[in-house]
Structure 1
Amino acid sequence: MGGRGRGSKSRTQRKHFRDGRENVWKRSKSDSPADGNSAATAAVDRSWQPFATQNTAFDEYYKEQGIVSPEEWDTFVEVLRSPLPAAFRINSSSQFSSDIRQQLENDFTKCLQAEGADGAEIEAIRPLAWYPDNLAWHSNYSRMQLRKNQTLERFHEFLKLENEIGNITRQEAVSMVPPLFLDVRPEHFILDMCAAPGSKTFQLLEIIYQSTKPGSLPDGMVIANDLDVQRCNLLIHQTKRMCTANLIVTNNEAQQFPGCRLSKALSKHSVSEHEQSMGQLLFNRVLCDVPCSGDGTLRKAPDLWRKWSPGMGNGLHNLQIQIAMRGLALLKVGGKMVYSTCSMNPVENEAVVAEVLRKCGGSVELLDVSNELPDLVRRPGLRKWKVRDRGVWLASHKDVVKNRHFGAVPGMFPSGRTYVPPIEKDIKNENGGNSEPNQELETSNEDVDEETSDLPLERCMRIVPHDQNSGAFFIAVLQKLSPLPAIPENPKKQKNSIAKKDETQEKISDPSVEDTDEQEQESKSIVMESASEAASDIDLVDNEEEKKDVPMEVAPCDKVSTENGLEDTQVTVNGKSDPEKAVGERKLQMQGRWKGVDPVLFFNDEATINSIIEFYGIDESFPFKGHLISRNSDDNHVKRIYYISKSVKDALELNILVGQQLKIASVGLKMFERQTAIAGSDAPCAFRISSEGLPLILPHITKQILNASPVDFIHILTYKTIKFRDFVDAAFGEKASKLMMGCCVIVLKKDDDQVSSDTVKVDASTIAIGCWKGRGSLSVMVTAIDCQELLERLSVRDEGMKEIIARSKESKVLNRKDEKEEVEVTEELAAEQ
């Protein structure tokens, strides 16, 4: 309806998207041989050269871990060292999702089967059997095939256009799996803890929107978080195409994600009953796709081969546990959390899940989901594995050299048991003795007994590349059965640093404890040096610690001025300001707490709101007032007004009450934009409806809206601007001329509607565009690429439309030719005179 999925992108976001990861499978010019004069050398330069895909440490490590059998090792490695096929997913909430699916099934697939490539039948496009409703597809074709096959070339252009609009999303196939096991419903509150680049977030939003009717919003919402600011920009770019009012993008540390708990003192004295409805921000579902070493993405990031080492996974183990425990702490009892990585390493996978289960006791259960998605080929999780540290294979914590305890912690091993050496050894070491054997040398596997976990880790699932020609992934589904136990601190004073780190992990697992400890430095360096250069689905950890904001002392007045000139609203009690009210032990934070981030402010300018309601005739049934926000504290200079759902509204109100704990990078659906070009004109309303917000508000508009015949609708899309007298339907042109100056909405008339009908009926199939009514003409207010895509959709949907579009384009070409000739004749006459 109006094309949900159409969204504009800011200049910064477009630049960041263009500056993304380079295709490392394509050999750069600098790597070509020095002697490029001979024909043979030139031929070599033009041909594809494989990236180095050899790593002895990788082969040795995974052969020993036994993630695949020895008989299939060669097949496993062969597939892992080949380029990854592309995959994409149809946006199920898009107005044209069924049209796009039919075009793939009936047009592209059948044409390719009939044509073949290079004299043989190819399977360049096929649906993923395990993804519901044929909404996810696999495509695998070479550049040579693309150049030689017209259908593939046409398909390639189709992909680029639909991805830009938001009707499809390019996403690695295995990356689509985790959200499917969350069992998401439209009313759920969902937290995506490490969300960038945003493909899984987009997928979660699609699911909660699936049963939503036109003009309404689901009751649930998604909070998408990422630590890295630049990756947040990419996350915003991806999710903007969804055009949703049910999303908040935040920029917080995942392992310290705020709980936004409303203190009892504040709720008792300062907050109304309505505001008390959400006393803490908890979630029905949590997606915990943690930062990892990323060796499951070797097929699309082959440069990782030369950098991979077992230490990458070891260094991230503690951070992964912290993030998972924080996710469970924020999960409601009865809710589900999916823990996932794009790594094959059991130290990052089964070991993390096992340690989380041990910390949570019986309050969390690892679910068996082997009967779900039966067509998805997956393997059960491991119950025994080893840890490799500094070239040494370790089967138990007791085998760890004492000065390496920080590098190989008990939770990495299957049993999770801690080995404490006798006191005599500690005393001897303090006196300069050497009671530990030299374990820096390679040890044989016969020297140690392998541990086996007593937890049901076979309920986890591991996807390996050669099973279904994909990347690798690990997934575990956890359900919270009861509140997490409070884990007491160790009363004994520990003499080494690892004891303090274990203490920190215990605090993080307790939902009643605020997380303030710093992240382990070794984990950070490994993430930045290795995982940052893996594929785009790997989530990164910032190099530097985020600067903590100092609570601002507030003056006893309703508004205070901050350093950046923004006004900050203070909580009031009975109409009077109360600067002494605090949240817990902290002063209530003001707007503008986060440096460099625009504040989120509820837009309450009654004059502007009333002018919008009156101009567009927005009916009273639509929840409008109280659902508008802006990012500018000066109402007179607000350029964009955003709309938020009730769930997001409640979350924002709670965030303000608890002192702006969430660092919000993006929120809300852009509903209105100030039309700066009409300053001082006769237009009674300065704000136009944005393309993103049109589908939501369209059923509730009673003014400035007209039906147009297919011919005139297509002419508007084709010509962009048409004078009132030039419309094919003269009655429509006359009605358009009588509209008030400013923004209006033109709806494509359906076959069963009367052209002259003044009543506009809106449903899920309604197609509408925003236009600008000037003094003598009507101009489309849709981007050129949106116009192109909409014309393509209409031509595919209806043969009659296809003919009208063809004639309209031909007429446009002829008109341009006539205009050019007229200009030339005029210039000749002027020259003769």
Structure 2
Amino acid sequence: MTCEAPAGIDGKDGPSYVDSVTAASSSGRRRHGDRRGEGRKKTRAFVPVPETSAGSVAFEAYYKAQGIVPDAEWSDFMGFMRKPLPVVVRVNARRAGWEELKAAFAADPRFQQLAWYPGGLAFQCASASLDGPLRECLGQLNRSYALRMQEAASLLPALLMRPGPEDLVLDMAAAPGGKSLQILELMAAAGDGGHGLGGAIIANDGDAERAMELLPLMLRKAHHPGIAVTLGSAAKFPAVFAPPGANEASTSQSADRQVLLDRVLCDVPCSSDGTLRKAPGIMARWRPHQGSLLHKKQLTILRRGLHLLKKGGRLVYSTCSLNPIECEAVVAAALAAFRGDCELVEDEAVEELRRAGLRARAGLASWKVPDTQRPKRQKAPDDQPPASEVGSAGVGCTLYTSLEEVQVPKEALSGLCATMFPPSNPEVLSQLRKAVRLLPQDNDSSGFFVAVFTKTRHWDAQPLSNSTPLPVEAVAVPALAPEKATVQADQMPLGAVATLRWRARNDLNVYELLDAAIDPEAQSIASYYGIDLSDPTTMFKHIIT
């Protein structure tokens, strides 16, 4: 290398830049994750799964049937899927010395600048060039937060979110924290040279160890006061209601005002088959039904995120999967569920990245749904996949284009649902082309899917007058059995029903009005939570909050 100030990334041509950057973090204390005395030295070699394995055969047959890649590009697609993923680093422009570090990467012939990343702060290095000294140097820079090691495709969601310096942001599945740190950097960069301290980010994760140990360890590197780490299910993330402000009257309406979010990142758990270049072992275990088993969970998380989004806000839904059941099908189902209150956007954020050199393809408008019956394994020669898993078409299962085609008993449809199939609504179908697909051969990256939502209307969770008609979206309250209630549905205050109309669109919620004078369960619940069941409106307020 012929790099000046600093003399090199890994010190081959002089004092290493890492010496000054990490001096404070290497003062003899054992770093998180290091083995006592020697640190982490083990590396995993990239070993692609044989093409004749059951997983490889089923993978190729399934995605050929889905048409995610034109036939003329199939060999390039599979060729890249069997190559190791390049290493990508993102320089942290909020740290002192970042300009020197950026110059060092730009001068190093092993690194190639990602032209489409704003500010030229991201660089890519071929996996074969990542020798021991360079790996150790990048690891130290990563731990000191002078840079972050993050694959190229995963940089996209935060960029499309476009967070502002004063935004309230929710990362619904934040661990290990790389995307949350990137969002904080973008919030600061959007503050015209300031530190972006007016905004805040809620980093949530459902895993206790990751939320309570890993996320705080990662996010404290940002030195940002507006960080909150929460532990909980993304599908059940609670709504937050603000107390009356200093200039607001102390009324029930002001007390019930829901705090809505400016930005939401919905990077859902997925089958991760787009990351085969990073984890080739996924191919050996790959089966067509894996994406279908996650579809309902992904849809529930997305719908919850849209519930919490404010009007005009942006929600980014992303997966590292190639499967349309986890991508376009989830997006289409959410658009149908919100019936015009949410829509996909394809704005200047995507076009700017395309003009800068990012190759991004449109979402799919049609796909096929596999059955969810796991095939029984049968003995087969070592060099041949089990016949029951490959089938005549190589997929190992039946593929359906519509729910009407399914000719099996209802008990066999436990894993299939209507939301997995392409939508029949032409308006919803046309919006799917606004989603973004990244294929490995286009940017030498992993496979990725991103869709950007915005909310066009939000129903405030506030009581309405009895003269106000309910909108179409309002949840109908069924008639209650006389032994279960003394207040009939037609006598219930309209405000109690209207309060439920936005968040009650979740199919998993079932509401039932109980009379404490009759039902002992209602008495027990009311006593425990201190609820006054004599007022139905108060009872509903407690239920939804």
TM-score norm. by structure 2 comes to: 0.70
Does 1:242 pair with 2:222? yes
Q: Spell out, residue by residue over 1:152-182, the C-alpha distance to the aligned partner (whole angstroms, 9 max, x if none).
A: x4x4443222111111011111000011011
Residue number among 360, 367, 378 corresponding to 2:360 in the alignment: 378
Aligned with residue 294 of structure 1, among 272, 282, 290: 272
Instruction: Give the counterpart of 1:14 among 18, 27, 32.
Output: 32
Tell me whether 1:97 sits opposite 2:83 in the alignment.
Answer: no
SS in 1 for 2:265: strand
Question: Corresponding residue for 2:518?
Answer: none
Q: Distance in 1 between matches of 2:341 and 2:40?
A: 41
Once the two structures are TM-superposed, the CA of residue 105 in structure 1 deviates from its matched residue by: 2.0
- Is the CA contact 1:52–1:302 (under 8 Å) kept in the aligned structure 2? no
Equivalent residue runs for 1:549-564 within 5 Å: none
Take 1:22 and 1:58, find their aligned partners in 2: how far apart are those partners?
Answer: 33
- 1:649 corresponds to which residue? none
- Equivalences, count: 437
C-alpha contact (below 8 Å) 2:343/2:431 kept by paired residues:
no
**8 Å contact kept, 2:90–2:149:** yes
Instruction: From 421, 443, 446, give the equivalent of 1:471.
Output: 446
Report whether the alignment pairs 1:205 with 2:184: yes
Greater mean deviation of Cα atoms: 315-324 or 90-99: 90-99
> Aligned-pair distance for 1:268?
6.8
Among 195, 209, 214, the residue aligned to 1:230: 209
Q: Distance in 2 between matches of 1:403 and 1:161?
A: 54
Query: Cα offset for 1:452?
Result: 11
Counting only pairs closer than 5 Å after superposition, residues 713-728 of structure 1 correspond to structure 2 as none
Tell me the equivalent position of 2:400.
394
Shift of 1:362: 1.2
Deviations 1:205-262 (A, max 9, x none): 1111225589965211111111011222222222121121111111111111111225
Q: Output one character per residue of 1:492-549: Cα deviation in whole Å (capped at 9) or x when no partner.
A: 99xxxxxxxxxxxxx9x9643497959xxxxxxxxxxxxxxxxxxxxxxxxxxxxxxx
Matched, 1:486 2:477: no
Aligned residue type for 2:416: A
Q: What's the CA shift for 1:322?
A: 0.9
Instruction: Decide which of 155, 162, 167 is 1:183's aligned counterpart.
Output: 162
Matches within 5 A, 1:389-788: 389=371, 390=373, 391-400=397-406, 401=408, 402-415=410-423, 454-483=429-458, 486=473, 488=475, 511-513=502-504, 517=508, 585=539
Counterpart-to-counterpart distance in 2, 1:100 and 1:468? 24
Which one has the largest radius of gyration?
1
Instruction: Report the secondary structure of 2:222's partner residue.
Output: coil
- Matched residue of 1:338: which SS? strand
Deviations 1:652-708 (A, max 9, x none): xxxxxx99x9xxxxxxxxxxxxxxxxxxxxxxxxxxxxxxxxxxxxxxxxxxxxxxx
Partner Cα separation in structure 2 for residue 277 and residue 213 of structure 1: 35
Q: 1:49 to 1:188 in 2, by over 3 A?
A: closer
Q: CA deviation at 1:290?
A: 0.7
Does the CA contact (< 8 Å) of 1:326 and 1:511 recur in 2?
A: no
Unaligned runs of 5+ in 1: 27-47, 113-123, 148-152, 418-450, 494-506, 519-549, 556-582, 589-657, 662-833
Q: Which residue of 2 aligns with 1:146?
A: 131
Alignment partner of 1:475: what SS?
strand
CA-atom RMSD, angstroms? 4.3
Question: Relative to 1, partners in 2 of residues 1:385 and 1:277: Cα closer, same or farther, differing over 3 Å?
Answer: same
1:457 partner SS: helix
Match of 2:297 in 1: 319
User: How far off its partner does 1:482 sit?
Assistant: 0.6
Cα distance in 1 for residues equivalent to 2:131 and 2:210? 31
Residues 1:60 and 2:61 are matched in the alignment: yes
- Answer whether contact 1:222 1:246 (CA < 8 A) is retained: yes
What is the TM-score of this pair, normalised by structure 1? Answer: 0.47
What's 2:111 paired with?
A: 125
SS of residue in 2 equivalent to 1:306: helix
Shift of 1:194: 1.0
For 1:731-764, what per-residue CA distance to the aligned partner results, in whole angstroms no more than 9, with x for missing partners?
xxxxxxxxxxxxxxxxxxxxxxxxxxxxxxxxxx
Displacement of 1:457: 1.0
The one-letter code matched in structure 2 to 1:186 is P
- 1:355-379: CA deviation from partner (whole Å, max 9, x where unpaired): 1111111111111245231111111
Aligned to 2:88, the other structure's residue is in SS state strand
Q: Is the 8 A contact 1:24 1:301 kept in 2?
A: no
Q: Secondary structure at the match of 2:453?
A: strand
Q: 1:215 to 1:483 in 2, by over 3 A?
A: closer
C-alpha distance in 2 between matches for 1:127 and 1:554: 57
Do the aligned partners of 1:25 and 1:83 also contact (CA within 8 Å) in 2? no
Asked if residue 76 in structure 1 is aligned to residue 55 in structure 2, the reply is: no
- Structure 1 residues 215 and 202, CA, compared in 2 at 3 Å: closer, same or farther? closer
Deviation at 1:489, TM superposition (A): 5.8
SS of the residue corresponding to residue 142 of structure 1 reads helix
Change (3 A) 1:16 1:156: closer
Deviation at 1:198, TM superposition (A): 0.8
Unaligned runs of 5+ in 2: 1-19, 374-396, 460-471, 481-497, 510-524, 531-536
Deviation at 1:126, TM superposition (A): 1.0
CA distance in 2, matches of 1:362, 1:516: 18
- 1:343 and 1:455 map into 2 onto residues whose CA distance is 22
User: For residues 72 and 213 of structure 1, do their structure 2 counterparts lie closer, same or farther at Cα, with a shift above 3 Å needed?
Assistant: closer
User: 1:367 is matched by which residue type in structure 2?
Assistant: V
User: Displacement of 1:64 after TM fit?
Assistant: 0.2
In the alignment, is the contact (CA less than 8 A) between 1:51 and 1:303 conserved in 2? yes
Amino acid at match of 1:413: F
| Paired position in structure 2 for 1:337 | 315
399 and 17 in structure 1: CA distance in 2 versus 1, 3 angstrom threshold = farther
Contact 1:335–1:479 under 8 Å retained in 2? yes
Shift of 1:50: 4.4
The percentage of aligned residue pairs carrying the same residue is 34
State the 1:553 CA deviation: 6.1
Give the deviation of 1:405 after TM superposition.
3.3
Question: Per the alignment, in what secondary structure is the counterpart of residue 73 of structure 1?
Answer: helix
After superposition, the Cα gap between the structure-2 partners of 1:328 and 1:3, relative to the gap in structure 1 and judged at 3 Å, is farther
Give the aligned residue type for 1:195: A
Residue 328 (structure 1) aligned with residue 306 (structure 2): yes
Partners of 1:235 and 1:482 lie apart in 2 by 33
Corresponding residue SS for 1:285: strand
Q: Distance in 2 between matches of 1:312 and 1:24?
A: 28
